[in-house]
Structure 1
Amino acid sequence: MIEAVKAELTELSARGLADAFSRAVRAGAVVPGERLPSIRAVARELSLSPTTVSAAWRLLARANLIHADGARGTVVADGAGQGPVRHRRALQYEGRFEIDLSTGLPDPALLPDLGPSLQRVPRGGTLESFLAEPIVPQLRDHLMADWPSPAEIITMADGATDALDLITMTCLQFGDRVAVEHPSYPPLLDLLEATGARIVPLELDEAGPVPSSLRDALDAGVRAVFLQPRAHSPTGMCLAPERATELAAVLRGQDVLLVEFDLCAGIAATPLVTVGEHVPDLAVHIRAYSESHGPDLRLAAVGGSAALMDPLIRRRHLGQGWTSRLLQWLLLDLLTHAEPEQQVQQARRQYARRRTALVDALADQGVQVGGQDGIVVWVPVENEAAALMLLSSHGIGCAPGTPYQIRPQAAPHLAVTAALLPETQAPQIATVLAQAARPSLPGSIH
């Protein structure tokens, strides 16, 4: 085993050793079930420190390429990894507070009433084949009519995270470099880390990802780029049309996959602007319906060129094959009848007012928050742990910013779900948030 890994080793670091191990597994030189030598033996043979080898083993364990097997020690393995580590950390205090603004979820009171649509959904039905088209044709045609970029194929997934999982599982391998906005959506970061991808952070400003940062990522050899075009979680950034054109110019002609996922489709007040509309041959677009129509629907549409979509559909046929057609009929009804559409529009306006109320109230307290849209507000703080503790003492729960961060020394923030905060409570909550954000200032509550 050591000789096989040594033959692949090009970088004398923990990451380099993990990458070499992964390449040896893919080449068949290291096989599942094979027992790993001791850390000291590997360090001695490869002229590395035991600390470096131990760090490499942790990376491989996080990607579930190795695992402990009792008395046999550590062995080569495949499997599901350690699960959503970042996402669990972001939600670790969920449900413990009188005012819980940590969830990142929509307000249940603003979701459309499913009752009338459930009455209209066709009962029963027949399935012609397990290999039949995985999307209801009428739903596909409806989605095609306003898809943001030319798409040859649209299919359905069980929510945005399921779509992202399908893409990472199908298109990425251990060691691939992937560009992601910094900060970003914790479930995506969990998926990429479980895959063993090297995450390359893209810098953001109020117009979107910075073109020079994307250019640097491409120069570093990224295989894929993941972007949120509007209502970015957690910053609320929305991609400006001019910036989309600039980013497309950087991507044009590159051998790279562009994945854009619109988490707040339906309830975002800002018109959708995408990079993919300029480079459709590179782009897969994901439109999520959990925030607008309900998390329990677990539905997202995924579309792009046949060259990009066919591998995803083939891979999905190895597992569940398709998303429930009953749920697809339900979504089609919700999208094509006036009453649920009016309810979604009302929610969109209410979320915009709630976000504005909190952002303005924070500004009145001297706390400036960026972004233009979305159900989460990204609040800068001096000390994350101290801010969470002070808020907790007031019965207020917010999500820590660390799970969203890619850079280890990033400025501390909290993710606050403004969607769950009535406008009338915004000034009171903003006062406590400001005190938690800047505990060193005179007059702060301790």
Structure 2
Amino acid sequence: MRIKGTTAAEIAGSVRDQVASGELAPRASLPPVRVLAGELGVNRNTVALAYRRLVEAGVAETRGRGGTVVAAVPQLAREGVGAGGDCVDLASGNPDPLLLPDLLGAARRGEYSPPLYGAPAIDPELDTWARADFAEDIEQPFRTLVTHGAVDATERLLNAHLTRGDLVAIEDPCFLASIGTLRLGGYRSAPVRVDGAGMRPDALRAALAAGARAVVCTPRAHNPTGASLTEERAADLRAILARHPQVLVIEDDHFSAVSARPYHRVTPPGSTRWALVRSVSKFLGPDLRLALVAADAGTTARLEARLSAGTTWVSRLLQHTARELLLDPRVHELHERARELYARRSGLLVERLRAQGIEVPYRPDGLNVWVELDVDGRAAVADLARRGWAVRPGHLFAPDPAAHQGAIRVTAATLTEPQAEAFAAELAAAVAELHSKAT
């Protein structure tokens, strides 16, 4: 490795050239600032600035006392990872396929004309439905857009307002894709602890005091915990955010149509940059890659620049299908049934766990149940797998992988009563066995 240059731009360019050519491999250590400055005969501040530019560009990353290393593609956990072999799958995070409508049937209904370049980016009838749906919950002026799902919306919103290195407040634990979005985008995370009522006010206040420029919040059916904001908690969070009107507020209301809890808004009226995102994946189907977004005018304009017609608009065929489903009374009845069954299944699991002495402090909403154990979560997951049950360890959902070592996430979306009874007993036995090994 031979880094050259006498200015910060030249030094950074030399490193980038060697990374591009393969001379510097991912995770390779760069020389300490003092050493490289001496070799090049330049001021230490020049090398420090070069390294800072490399980090900002995503070419390198700092590891504290470990120095500066060439960045590698992050290895990210993802949703949809289920059971292997004969295990009962309580790990995937998927909705119940039997509670999803017929996408192909909907695609064939109604009037559909293939759009050409220059057509409006959003289906007019879908836009009308979305405006009416959002208007029930949003009092301030807004405009609507369609994105390629909630993760796409969140990524574009952050990219529209933030730069690499900016601090983003996210729930702790949080949605797997949010962790991936921040790492891939080069943002720093400010974990905000979650309890049964949602984001904790003290933790949000601390994240904002630390300089967070954006907040990503799940108002209900939080994944992985199942927590939903209460009216009182939402009011507390609004009061805190009202003192930071410049902060981007993103609400990911992913479970909207089938949630058993009401939506409580955390975005205060004075926020200048905000978005409410409602994807359809959990209640119309994961393959319908579409989310409806309501946002302030400035944010909408920034998103439109990234979703302009003729380049990357969301497929009008997908929009047509979503429109047909969202306007279908039979689908509304299916959503009512899904809302009832999901709540019943997660509640049943909580009851059976409590009967085994495993406490879940609140009744969750959504597809998942979060269980805090007094043993190592990964060991519990491995033991359960040997017993024929697949769940996911809690540390995967933590912005800091060292956190939530004693938790597991259980997907209850398809859980039957006999399965709930058997799983609770097996989990209790696994915990007891791990306790005995530790003594």
TM-score band, normalised by shorter chain: 0.7 to 0.9
Letter in 2 for 1:98: C
Identity over aligned residues, as a percent?
A: 35
Q: Tell whether the 8 Å contact from 2:196 to 2:228 is kept in structure 1 after alignment.
A: yes
Q: Tell whether the 8 Å contact from 1:229 to 1:272 is kept in structure 2 after alignment.
A: yes
1:258 and 2:245 are equivalent in the alignment: no
Q: Tell whether the 8 Å contact from 1:117 to 1:333 is kept in structure 2 after alignment.
A: yes
Aligned partners of 2:322, 2:82: CA distance in 1, in Å? 32
1:97 Cα deviation (Å)?
A: 4.0
Q: Tell whether the 8 Å contact from 1:4 to 1:30 is kept in structure 2 after alignment.
A: no
Letter in 1 for 2:291: A
Query: 1:380 matched to which residue of 2?
Result: 372
Query: 1:405 matched to which residue of 2?
Result: 398
Q: Tell whether the 8 Å contact from 1:32 to 1:75 is kept in structure 2 after alignment.
A: no
Residue by residue over 1:357-409, the C-alpha shift from the partner in whole angstroms, topping out at 9 and shown as x without a partner, is 10110011111124531101111231122111111112211112111012343
SS in 1 for 2:370: strand
Pick the aligned partner of 1:233 from 223, 236, 251. 223
Letter in 1 for 2:129: H
SS in 2 for 1:135: coil
Aligned partners of 1:156, 1:355: CA distance in 2, in Å? 31
1:335 and 2:326 are equivalent in the alignment: yes
SS in 2 for 1:387: helix
1:210 and 2:171 are equivalent in the alignment: no
Normalised TM-score (structure 2): 0.82
Aligned partners of 1:232, 1:176: CA distance in 2, in Å? 24
1:348 and 2:335 are equivalent in the alignment: no
1:365 and 2:365 are equivalent in the alignment: no
* TM alignment of 1:29-428, pairs within 5 A: 30=13, 33-35=16-18, 39-40=30-31, 42-45=33-36, 64-65=58-59, 82=73, 85-88=75-78, 94-127=83-116, 129-130=117-118, 132-147=119-134, 148-149=137-138, 150-254=140-244, 255-276=246-267, 278-279=269-270, 281-317=272-308, 320-371=311-362, 372-381=364-373, 382-411=375-404, 412-428=406-422
Q: Tell whether the 8 Å contact from 2:241 to 2:268 is kept in structure 1 after alignment.
A: no
Q: Tell whether the 8 Å contact from 1:111 to 1:292 is kept in structure 2 after alignment.
A: yes
1:435 Cα deviation (Å)?
A: 2.6
Query: 2:41 matched to which residue of 1?
Result: none
State the Cα RMSD in Å: 3.3
Aligned partners of 2:5, 2:351: CA distance in 1, in Å? 60
Aligned partners of 2:219, 2:37: CA distance in 1, in Å? 44
Q: Tell whether the 8 Å contact from 2:395 to 2:402 is kept in structure 1 after alignment.
A: no
1:308 Cα deviation (Å)?
A: 1.3
Letter in 1 for 2:35: R
Aligned partners of 2:37, 2:414: CA distance in 1, in Å? 54
1:3 Cα deviation (Å)?
A: 6.5
Q: Tell whether the 8 Å contact from 2:81 to 2:92 is kept in structure 1 after alignment.
A: no
Given the superposition, is the C-alpha separation of residues 428 and 303 from structure 1 closer, same or farther in structure 2, using an over 3 Å criterion? same
Given the superposition, is the C-alpha separation of residues 39 and 352 from structure 1 closer, same or farther in structure 2, using an over 3 Å criterion? same
Letter in 2 for 1:322: W
Given the superposition, is the C-alpha separation of residues 317 and 162 from structure 1 closer, same or farther in structure 2, using an over 3 Å criterion? same
Aligned partners of 2:70, 2:409: CA distance in 1, in Å? 38
Letter in 1 for 2:213: R
Unaligned runs of 5+ in 1: 6-23, 48-52, 68-73
Letter in 2 for 1:246: D
Aligned partners of 1:250, 1:97: CA distance in 2, in Å? 48
Larger mean Cα displacement after TM superposition, 160-169 or 291-300: 160-169
Letter in 2 for 1:385: R
SS in 2 for 1:275: coil
Aligned partners of 1:62, 1:183: CA distance in 2, in Å? 26
Normalised TM-score (structure 1): 0.81
Given the superposition, is the C-alpha separation of residues 227 and 395 from structure 1 closer, same or farther in structure 2, using an over 3 Å criterion? same
Residue by residue over 1:50-92, the C-alpha shift from the partner in whole angstroms, topping out at 9 and shown as x without a partner, is xxx9xx99x978984259xxxxxx9999xxx726x3324x655
Given the superposition, is the C-alpha separation of residues 327 and 277 from structure 1 closer, same or farther in structure 2, using an over 3 Å criterion? farther
* TM alignment of 1:426-437, pairs within 5 A: 426-437=420-431
Letter in 1 for 2:390: G
Aligned pair count reads: 403
Query: 2:64 matched to which residue of 1?
Result: none
